[in-house]
Structure 1
Amino acid sequence: MSTADKTTTKSNGSSEAPWLLVTRREVVSRITDKSFLLGTVFMVVLIAGFIGFTAWQEERTDKVTLGATPDSVAMATVIEESAPDVDDSVEVSVVELDDETAAEAALLDDEVDAWLHPVEGGWELTSESSEQDSLTDVVSTVVRQQVLTDNAAGVGSTVQELEAGSDVSTAFLRGDAERAAVAEVVGFVFVFLFYFAALVFGMQLASSVIEEKQSRIVEIIAAAIPLRHLLAGKVLGNTALAVIQLLVYLVVGLVGISFTSYKSYLPALSGPTAWFIGFFLAGFVALACLWAVAGSLASRTEDLQATSTPLTMLMLAMFFGGLSLDGRGQVIASFIPPVSAVVMPKRILAGGVEWWEPLVALGLLAAFAAVTVWVGEKLYRRALLQTGGRVTLRQAWSAAE
């Protein structure tokens, strides 16, 4: 049933509110749309595949062969024995070679991944054409440790005595280093999901407004229900769809993490995730209303790029601000709507946030959303029925009710 049919039903005596009819139409039409379903399934598969690949990479053992000529067999044997202590995902096997010629031949024939041999001032790890990163890291660590041990013994000391007082640790005034590393990754996911949802659903909302305006069907709808009900239905419908899709992605992600070595972080992620949903809801409502205004200002699909440019720039500022801000700038931005929708959840993830800070930030964001909806509703109503060309914000605001 079309929106016009539903609103006609309302005018004929239906007890259901017009905005609820529009909301239901938006939800049902999108949920039954194949492109929406396929897009959601694709993202779920992508998330699950990425987490699965990460888990597989963590469990996978990198088996490498290290060639050693007579002058490096002793050091290579130490590397073979110590490799699991340096990186438990690297397994080193030593292949003894007669001389330099045999070592070069073994490299060219792929019999060994690298050849270890002494050079003036240290050791050299030679490979055929590309560096073996995991092997290089292990060899560098073990050789350094072994050389330090030998040198310390030569002067009647130990490595521990020589390195005493040289350890450097990291700390944060707010939160801790371990949570900061997790927050960096999960924070990126939060920022990306918000940007993706606001852009995709916003463009679709604006396009639907333009289609109804260009086909003049909005004039029929306006005769049956108040335009504010039409706006409310569209915003609420798309918000519901965005939240449903977001919850699907978050559930898949959290369940996937439970099968990886990061599962110990799940309890710490549950609270910030709940906060993110709240900030997402308030921020999305504000942006969805602005997208509807962008659609109402346009008279043709070609006009949407011009009418939505300020909004697109705002979203880009939110995206890059959410990723790049840190320190005092991040703290300040976490209270400024609508950037706070993505910055405050990142701060909560990192820890060190006072209990009242998210409440204040969410309250400010909700107030911003309320003002945006109030202003947007006026612009939407005054611009929607104006045809014949693109409407400016000044023209929409000064137009008669």
Structure 2
Amino acid sequence: MRTGAWLLVTRREVLARITDKTFLIGTAAMVAMIIGFMGFTAWQEERSEDFRIAATPDAVAMAELVADQAPRVDDDVTVAVVEVDDETGARAAVREDVDAWLHRGDDGWVLTTESSEEPSLTDVVSQVVQGAVLSENAAAAGATLEELQAGSTVSTSFLRGDAEQAAVADVVGFVFMFLFYLAALLFGMQLASSVIEEKQSRIVEIIAAAIPLRHLLAGKVLGNTVLAMLQVLVYVAVGLVGMSFTPYQSYVPDISGPVAWFLAFFLAGFVALACLWAVAGALASRAEDLQATSTPLTMLILGMFFAGISLDGRAQVVASFVPPVSAVVMPKRILAGTLQWWEPLVALALLVAFAAVTVRLGERVYRRALMQTGGRVSLRQAWAAEE
């Protein structure tokens, strides 16, 4: 029985959780949110905006130019012109059934709305009017618009990767980091709480008489790791399938490879943190002690999350090799395509080594702290305690 004790504990952890209504409802709610977000994104991208702008006789020509060129500026925007006799009619039209009134001001053109700005309409009108006025000024100066604008465009380029990949990396990379952060906190707290519950009720003393404590730790860590991986796999699968139905479907093949790397880094990083959560539970004697024993670990996970968001340049490169931060930073770099082929392998090897050392040291603290029920145990006391 002892040889497969860890497997029995693992199975118990998995079965107890997947039959828990709270866990199932939470997972289903997150899946529904992902589907809803994907559907909203697809609807937003395919939705066209139709605007009506009023113009007095002296502004009709410019308004019609805006209506004609609007689809070229933004293919989701269409503009219709409503002619009015004077300013009074224009103001009345804005209050009733048109979106804005285009007219001349003291220093250029003015787009007047009733109470709030329409950003997409403002952007289209600004670009069309600016181009038309520059063309007029260029003609007056004996030049063409192209001649005036020659050499004035600014483009972007990266030494490694490209702008499109960077944009995708920012969005998907944030999703990766959030999933890791969420899993590390939720499953970690659940693991620590179960350790405290068994310790406080003294059930652990009965378990310890039947199986080695290292088997109990292994089963708890592996069980929660399996659950976390399954949940993340569901979220990722739903996300990729949902993305295939949006205008961003062309990105799915490019994301699939980094997803596999993310899962590998997630697995190694989560195992290390899960062991630390078990240690946090073992150091506590009551549920009230968990806040104190888990604060350093919570701060570490929060620091990893913010490091993944804020670090860039050389700092990001360095952090992508430093465990456990590399669990969230390296997948983001892989998405951006700004690294050499060997870098993820080295970073993953370092993370696996870190996880192995963490599990080895954590197992010692766990075993020596778990059976002490006289109060909260410090790391130093647990490390020096006799078994």
Q: Please show how residues 149-160 of structure 1 align to structure 2 within 5 Å.
A: 149-160=135-146
Shift of 1:223: 0.1
4+ residue runs over 4 A deviation: none
Between the two proteins, the alignment pairs up a number of residues equal to 387
Distance 1:165 1:108 in 2: 43
Shift of 1:158: 1.9
**Secondary structure, counterpart of 1:131 in structure 2:** coil
Residue identity in the other structure for 1:154: A
Residue identity in the other structure for 1:24: R
1:88 to 62, 71, 75: 75
Q: Please show how residues 159-178 of structure 1 align to structure 2 within 5 Å.
A: 159-178=145-164
1:61 to 31, 40, 48: 48
2:187 to 186, 189, 201: 201
Per-residue Cα deviation, 1:157-177 (whole angstroms, up to 9, x for no partner): 222221111111111122111
Shift of 1:151: 1.9
Residue identity in the other structure for 1:104: R
Distance 2:384 2:350 in 1: 28
Shift of 1:76: 0.3
2:21 to 26, 34, 50: 34
Gaps of 5+ in 1: 1-9
CA-atom RMSD, angstroms? Answer: 0.9
Residue identity in the other structure for 2:37: F
**Secondary structure, counterpart of 1:91 in structure 2:** strand
Distance 1:210 1:302 in 2: 10
2:169 to 174, 179, 183: 183
Structure 1 position 369 matched with structure 2 position 378? no
1:72 to 40, 47, 59: 59
Q: Please show how residues 207-286 of structure 1 align to structure 2 within 5 Å.
A: 207-286=193-272
Residue number in structure 2 paired with 1:6:
none
Shift of 1:71: 1.2
Distance 1:344 1:158 in 2: 49
**Secondary structure, counterpart of 1:71 in structure 2:** helix
**Secondary structure, counterpart of 1:117 in structure 2:** strand
Gaps of 5+ in 2: none
Residue identity in the other structure for 1:72: A
Residue identity in the other structure for 1:117: H
Distance 1:48 1:357 in 2: 34
Residue identity in the other structure for 1:63: D
Distance 1:84 1:274 in 2: 40
**Secondary structure, counterpart of 2:57 in structure 1:** coil
Per-residue Cα deviation, 1:72-130 (whole angstroms, up to 9, x for no partner): 10000000011101111111111111101111111222x11110001122100011111
Shift of 1:148: 1.5
**Secondary structure, counterpart of 1:80 in structure 2:** helix
TM-score, normalising length: structure 1: 0.95
Per-residue Cα deviation, 1:247-282 (whole angstroms, up to 9, x for no partner): 000000001111111111111111111100000000
Distance 1:158 1:253 in 2: 49
Residue number in structure 2 paired with 1:50:
37
Residue number in structure 1 paired with 2:283:
297
